[in-house]
Structure 1
Amino acid sequence: MAFRGDRVRLNVGGEVFETTAATLAVAGRDSMLGALLDDDWNLRRPSANPDTPPEYFIDRNPACFAVLLDLLRSGELHLPPSLPEPLLLREASFYGVLDLVRAARWGPFDGNRLRPSTSISGTAPGDGTSIRASPDGGCCVAHGSMLHVYDWTFVEHPPITLDYLPINAASFLDPSHIVVTARERPGKMSGGMALFSSSNADLLHRFHVRHDNQLKSFTAGALSFSHIDSKIFASCKGRCNEYGIGVWDQIIGEQSDFFYELSGCPLGDSDSLQWLNAPSSLISATLFPKTEHCYIALLDFRQKNVVWSWTDTRPGLGLTGSFDDKRVLDVVAMEDNRSVCVVNQYADLGFLDLRVNGGGVRWSSRSKLRKGRVKNEEELCCPRLASQGGQLFLAMNDTISVFSGPEFVHTSTLRKSHGGGICDFSIGGDRLFALHSEENVFDVWETPPSSPFL
């Protein structure tokens, strides 16, 4: 970088900009702008006049470059109202500074500071059934047998289609790969689980279940990942003895283990799986209304046993009122790895201590959260839970409530879209995505940066 302290002149689309090599270096050596400073770059040349800074011509949009150059100079992103954001993102991708734009676009995730960013209308007919966030801020939305994939700039990629097989679950293994589970079709090996490219929807790998050295057809349901030891977990229902939770290696895609159902432990029907890194165990939950009674278990795959469990069929578990009032509809393990939060259809939150096997639920009534702006009873949506950054999130009807602090006090409420009740939501890449049931639309919530985005 011989010219780090020197001036550089850039002619972008006929408009001349003058800056310093130090400013361009902020873009990083791997960016197109950083490459201008590389002695090995074949287009780099000094000016004919030693007193005149070298000039380069770039045939791109000058208005966008002005915004990006200001970002390199100040660290702040100011977008004029006349400049469309998709155009800026396209140009930022060309220059290799998308990460800088994204860092300036929003701050660290904080549920109490989330603000609506945009709403995206889906292209598929009918309502979406589930939404999952990507680690880099994109998402995928399931509609029956089709999965629509969006990158973090909300450009829609080719959809993943399963030949009319209903999608049970989908989740990003990483920003480039999506794992999809589906119901098997009678008489064919079409169901199960597969890995797809998020960019072009190519089928990359089909995961198999083997029992007694024979290949088995199966229906896969809930998903979870352990990135520490590169494992994929999925609940499985087969035709013979392969009911339980399968384990596959993320790298080679081969089955590495299987936790078969134990007596009274409905693992093959699990609605929710969540891997806990600290105890190296898996939370499995079978919920109402799939089963009449909820069953939650903590599974140790090393010892092949259930190290903790809870069910609402046992007496004396701290339940008040009828069982109908306390049927569990969703569950999430808290980030401290010591407790589990559950919720019923009335938005009552309950907490289970993972250190006390078979202990009772500490219920907390949230009656003020039960009402939402829905038009009729048909739009009422089941409550959904998530935990992120030490905060607890509860979606109920058309609102998402945020709970903070050691006692999880209700600290804020998110409500925006015209799309009716929230049927699912997901958090990832410093964004919260809320999928609405009445219309095929999802909202995106982000935390504003410390400097305003104009």
Structure 2
Amino acid sequence: MCTPAAAGRGRVRLNVGGRVFETTAATLATAGRDTMLGAMLDASWNAGHDADGGAAEYFIDRDPACFAVLLDLLRTGGLHVPPGVPEAALHREALYYGLLDRVRAARFGDFDGDRLRLAASVPGRAPGDGTAVRAAPDGGCCVAHGGAVRVYNWMLEERRPVYCPGHAPVNDAAYLDAATLLVAARERPGTGRRGDDGGGGGGGGGVAAFSALTGEPRHRFRVAHGRQPRSFTAGALAFDDGEGCRVFASCKGRLNEYGVAVWDVNTGEQAGFFYEPPGCALGDADRLQWLDGTGTLMAATMFPRADSSFISLLDFRDKSVVWSWSDAGTPASLEDKHAVHAVAMEDGRSVCVINQYHDLGFLDLRKNAAGVRWRSRSKLTASGKTKTWGEETCYPKLATHGGQLFASTGDAISVFSGPDHVLTSTLRGGNGGAICDLSIGGDRLFALHSEENVFDVWETPPPAII
């Protein structure tokens, strides 16, 4: 038997599906010890020599054409897929060998908003009812369509959809991890009798976890008032993936259960409820975001959901509002400039808001009574009005990643970079009308269009291999 060190100096012969490949242990080692190929270097594989003193041969009952592509990836760092190799088969084989991350890294590089290219425009199933797109951490995504959530893997192949109980309309979705999808849904009128589903929420409202791989339900998160489960409509979702490992959802109930509920991810049990304080609108919040730096939750209820926009930072440790802002009482000259979306910046010191005229504004989280510092941007139309597509007005949305700020502006996305948030790029893709939502994750940007439910996929080209 040769040791791992000896194997590292020798050759390895692999018979994959009847086709023989010869390589070095050093090449296999680049796959990583946590992969199937990397594990071959372990002494338990009994990596030895044949009777003639040549390299040991191992038989692997898999697709040889795909293996040739993957072996070349390990050798060169580049992904070269011949015309006869189906993408779906390569994805399956890469998953088997534990090389899926390597394939993804070779397909597109580290995310950079100024170098993004349009990789695909994927048509939706039901035109006109797409409400949200969410990026998965592995490069896939999901799109909310009425009472269903369409799920796509990183190759943009559609998996089994997720359906809420009673096909309740979906308000929000979030990936807890690549295999677990959280869905928040509205309670259908007249269907919330306690006991319909073993504890309230018979109309399908509330928050539930599903398998992102199979669409099967995993857990339903309950809200209790006293000891009695209550029906509720769930709005925005967020989660703390640190030590707390908690799920948050804005809740609008029938018995004054208005606010933000929190559950322990490990147990699935309710861990608390932040009741709506005076002057806030937590039960109607359409945007939640966890801030690691301060250990607080940003809750934003934006126009036109409410007559005025409210943003608060909630501390669940003592159930206090540590910072708040509202555009209620705005001077008459600015009364039509409502904040319609918000995102906490990655530095943890400010919140960016955008109004229906596509002006960016910044709020200082270090000053509790700070006003908005508006920065006027180029308008979509000559009149400066928000453009209407079809019968619905699409308000702009915001996202941040890697220090860059992204804002949907009609049918395009503006990219702002640097400490002064200078406009550095404009992305314009599919032909499905205005962008109603965008999301960044898994080194990709996803943009959902309003009219045809087309969603665009933007990637950063991989670095050149020299």
Task: Compute the TM-score of the two structures, normalised by the length of structure 2.
Answer: 0.90
Secondary structure in 1 aligned to 2:8?
Answer: coil
One-letter code aligned to 1:106: F
Secondary structure in 2 aligned to 1:30?
Answer: coil
Q: What is the CA–CA distance in structure 1 between the aligned matches of 2:64 and 2:392, rounded to whole Å?
A: 48
1:367 Cα deviation (Å)?
2.0
Q: Give 1:19's match in structure 2, choosing from 9, 23, 31.
A: 23
Q: Give 1:337's match in structure 2, choosing from 320, 335, 348.
A: 348
Secondary structure in 2 aligned to 1:27?
Answer: coil
Q: Give 1:350's match in structure 2, choosing from 361, 374, 398.
A: 361
One-letter code aligned to 1:202: E
Q: What is the CA–CA distance in structure 1 between the aligned matches of 2:151 and 2:361, rounded to whole Å?
A: 34
Q: Deviation per CA, 1:379-415: give whole Å up to 9, x if none.
A: 7521000011111000121101100000000000111
Identify the range of structure 1 (203-212 vs 6-15) with the bigger mean alpha-carbon deviation.
6-15
Q: What is the CA–CA distance in structure 1 between the aligned matches of 2:173 and 2:262, rounded to whole Å?
A: 16
Q: Give 1:197's match in structure 2, choosing from 206, 211, 216.
A: 211
CA 131–157 in structure 1, closer or farther in 2 if over 3 Å, else same: same
Q: What is the CA–CA distance in structure 2 between the aligned matches of 1:380 and 1:217, rounded to whole Å?
A: 31
Secondary structure in 2 aligned to 1:321?
Answer: helix
Q: What is the CA–CA distance in structure 1 between the aligned matches of 2:131 and 2:325, rounded to whole Å?
A: 28
Query: What residue is the counterpart of 1:119 in the other structure?
Result: 121
8 Å CA contact retained: 1:370, 1:396 = no
Gaps of 5+ in 1: none
Query: What residue is the counterpart of 1:410 in the other structure?
Result: 423
1:123 Cα deviation (Å)?
3.7
Q: What is the CA–CA distance in structure 2 between the aligned matches of 1:243 and 1:308, rounded to whole Å?
A: 19
Query: What residue is the counterpart of 2:78 in the other structure?
Result: 76
Q: What is the CA–CA distance in structure 2 between the aligned matches of 1:135 and 1:376, rounded to whole Å?
A: 31
Q: Give 2:371's match in structure 1, choosing from 340, 360, 367.
A: 360
Instruction: Please tell me whether residue 210 in structure 1 is matched to residue 224 in structure 2.
Output: yes
8 Å CA contact retained: 1:350, 1:364 = yes
Task: Compute the TM-score of the two structures, normalised by the length of structure 1.
Answer: 0.92
Identify the range of structure 1 (14-23 vs 81-90) with the bigger mean alpha-carbon deviation.
81-90
Q: What is the CA–CA distance in structure 1 between the aligned matches of 2:173 and 2:381, rounded to whole Å?
A: 29
Instruction: Please tell me whether residue 381 in structure 1 is matched to residue 432 in structure 2.
Output: no
Q: Give 1:168's match in structure 2, choosing from 163, 166, 171.
A: 171
Q: What is the CA–CA distance in structure 1 between the aligned matches of 2:334 and 2:155, rounded to whole Å?
A: 47
Secondary structure in 2 aligned to 1:181?
Answer: strand
Secondary structure in 1 aligned to 2:88?
Answer: helix
One-letter code aligned to 2:356: Q
Instruction: Please tell me whether residue 222 in structure 1 is matched to residue 236 in structure 2.
Output: yes
Query: What residue is the counterpart of 1:178 in the other structure?
Result: 181
1:140 Cα deviation (Å)?
0.9
8 Å CA contact retained: 2:363, 2:370 = yes
Q: CA RMSD in A?
A: 2.3
Q: What is the CA–CA distance in structure 1 between the aligned matches of 2:288 and 2:294, rounded to whole Å?
A: 15
1:179 Cα deviation (Å)?
1.1
One-letter code aligned to 1:344: N
Secondary structure in 2 aligned to 1:367?
Answer: coil
Secondary structure in 2 aligned to 1:88?
Answer: helix
CA 107–169 in structure 1, closer or farther in 2 if over 3 Å, else same: same
One-letter code aligned to 1:182: A
Q: What is the CA–CA distance in structure 2 between the aligned matches of 1:376 and 1:273, rounded to whole Å?
A: 27
Instruction: Please tell me whether residue 155 in structure 1 is matched to residue 157 in structure 2.
Output: yes
Query: What residue is the counterpart of 2:197 in the other structure?
Result: none
Gaps of 5+ in 2: 193-200
One-letter code aligned to 1:151: N
Q: Deviation per CA, 1:332-380: give whole Å up to 9, x if none.
A: 11111111111111111111111111221111111245689x8956475
1:45 Cα deviation (Å)?
6.0
One-letter code aligned to 1:178: L
1:118 Cα deviation (Å)?
2.0
8 Å CA contact retained: 2:77, 2:465 = no
1:91 Cα deviation (Å)?
2.4
Q: Give 2:58's match in structure 1, choosing from 34, 40, 56.
A: 56
One-letter code aligned to 1:18: E
Q: What is the CA–CA distance in structure 1 between the aligned matches of 2:318 and 2:390, rounded to whole Å?
A: 46
Mapping 1:77-116, distance limit 5 Å? 77-81=79-83, 83-116=85-118
Identify the range of structure 1 (432-441 vs 80-89) with the bigger mean alpha-carbon deviation.
80-89
> What is the total number of aligned residue pairs between the two structures?
446
1:124 Cα deviation (Å)?
4.5
Instruction: Please tell me whether residue 401 in structure 1 is matched to residue 404 in structure 2.
Output: no
Instruction: Please tell me whether residue 327 in structure 1 is matched to residue 327 in structure 2.
Output: no
Secondary structure in 2 aligned to 1:268?
Answer: helix
8 Å CA contact retained: 2:314, 2:322 = yes
Q: Give 1:273's match in structure 2, choosing from 264, 285, 288.
A: 288
Query: What residue is the counterpart of 1:451 in the other structure?
Result: 464
Secondary structure in 2 aligned to 1:282?
Answer: strand
CA 303–13 in structure 1, closer or farther in 2 if over 3 Å, else same: closer
CA 79–187 in structure 1, closer or farther in 2 if over 3 Å, else same: closer
8 Å CA contact retained: 2:308, 2:328 = yes
**What is the identity percentage for the equivalent residue pairs of Structure 1 and Structure 2?**
60
CA 441–407 in structure 1, closer or farther in 2 if over 3 Å, else same: same
Instruction: Please tell me whether residue 442 in structure 1 is matched to residue 455 in structure 2.
Output: yes
Query: What residue is the counterpart of 1:430 in the other structure?
Result: 443
8 Å CA contact retained: 1:177, 1:197 = yes
Identify the range of structure 1 (164-173 vs 148-157) with the bigger mean alpha-carbon deviation.
148-157
Query: What residue is the counterpart of 2:131 in the other structure?
Result: 129
Q: What is the CA–CA distance in structure 2 between the aligned matches of 1:79 and 1:168, rounded to whole Å?
A: 40
